[in-house]
Amino acid sequence: MKEANFYEIFDKDKKIVKCNLCPQYCYIQEGMEGTCAVRKNIDGKLYSLVYGKMKGAQIDPIEKKPLFHFYPESDIFSFCTVGCNMKCLFCQNFTTSQVSKGVEGIISGENVSPKEIVEIAKKHGCKSIAMTYNEPTIFFEYAYDTCVEAKKEGLKTVFVSNGYITKKAIDKIAPVLDAINIDLKGFTNKYYQKICGAQLQPVLDAIKYYYEKGVFMEITTLIIPGENDSDDELKQIAEFIASISKDIPWHISRFHPDYKMLNKNLTPINTLSKAYDIGGKAKLKYIYVGNVQGNKFENTICPKCNETLIKRQGYHIFDINIINNKCKFCNTKINGIWH
């Protein structure tokens, strides 16, 4: 355990604390955990139960995060703990993210220090380290210390996140975080409340603030039939991204039934194509369709001359036509961190 950042004493006599790490703003009584189930009030102080407790890890291609404009073809060491500050009904990583409050097993995991994580990543030739699979915000202290150690050794750092974090926490992590992929899951508060157990506006605020702080960003939207797939909602998502920067890559992801949404069908291909077209009308320069094997919308296309700059199939890359951050064919600058 480690004492948590971003909390305050709410009631000293009753030993109640308020957690200010994420927009859940949990008021936590002594002996209890917050919504994430991994930040516990012990005798009037808030502690992280998962510091140094690695639940899962593997070496991934960077494209799996998904990050298509950040060191393509490189390997990234990915790890997680348990717990999450959302309760998404479709979560594909629910066995690690959706732990129950009060269950002793929430502190399960292998003891691996931030320094050891960096050494493992270096040993396997990884260019970067990703905090992913569950929400990295909820193991903030572990993630932050890992980022600090990684920067000392010249490794890049990545969050794969739901964007449910406060500005104070972003202020601290941004100087040691190189890139982030944020799930913008929908564009109505009703959707976020019903499907995710959260609110929309804090996610929008976090996306804007991460961008302002200079963290390289890509955004993913999982499109669920009958939930967030209307023309209006997809248009709002695309236009919101474009209002921040038309250079931000948008990943449109196909839904597969999982966890508590097994009764839903796969996202129809024509819905994904419609979303792609809507993104184009919003003038987004880089749009991708994921979770569909062999589709033509995996490639990076030059927004000016329409030549194929990166040809992909799944997580495999067959050609890169970006030289000195510019299109090989027409010399247009291509947003990304390439080499």
pLDDT digits (tens, 9 = 90+) for 191-249: 999 999 999 999 999 999 999 999 999 999 999 999 999 999 999 999 999 999 999 99
Instruction: List, by residue range, all CATH 3.20.20.70 domains of the chain.
Output: 53-298
Give the chain's mean pLDDT.
95
Residue 310: HSE in the Cβ half-sphere, 13 Å Cα cutoff: 29
Q: What's the confidence (pLDDT) of residue 106?
A: 56
> Which band of pLDDT confidence, cut at 50, 70 and 90, is reported for residue 100?
low
What does pTM read for this prediction? 0.96
> Which band of pLDDT confidence, cut at 50, 70 and 90, is reported for residue 77?
very high
Alpha-carbon distance of 298 to 314, in angstroms, equals 8
The tens digit of pLDDT for each residue in 280-318 reads 999 999 999 999 987 789 999 999 999 999 999 888 898
CA dihedral 250, 256, 262, 265 (to 10 degrees): 90
Helix (H) or strand (E) holding 237: helix 231-244
Give the angle 247-251-255 at the CA atoms, nearest 5°: 165
* Strand arrangement of the beta sheet that strand 45-48 belongs to: 2-3, 45-48, 39-42
Q: What is the CATH code of the structural domain delimited by 53-298? A: 3.20.20.70
Q: What's the confidence (pLDDT) of residue 296?
A: 84
The tens digit of pLDDT for each residue in 23-76 reads 999 999 999 999 999 999 999 999 999 999 999 999 999 999 999 999 999 999
Q: What's the confidence (pLDDT) of residue 227?
A: 97
CA 48 to chain centre: 20
Q: What's the confidence (pLDDT) of residue 103?
A: 47
What string of DSSP letters covers 121-144? HHHTT-SEEEE-SS-GGGGHHHHH
Average pLDDT over residues 169-182: 98
| Burial readout 51-83 (b: 16 or more C-beta within 10 A, e: otherwise) | bbbbbbbeebbbbbbbbbbbbbebbbbbbbbbb
Alpha-carbon distance of 58 to 80, in angstroms, equals 10
The 8-class DSSP code of residue 175 comes to: G
Average pLDDT over residues 161-190: 98
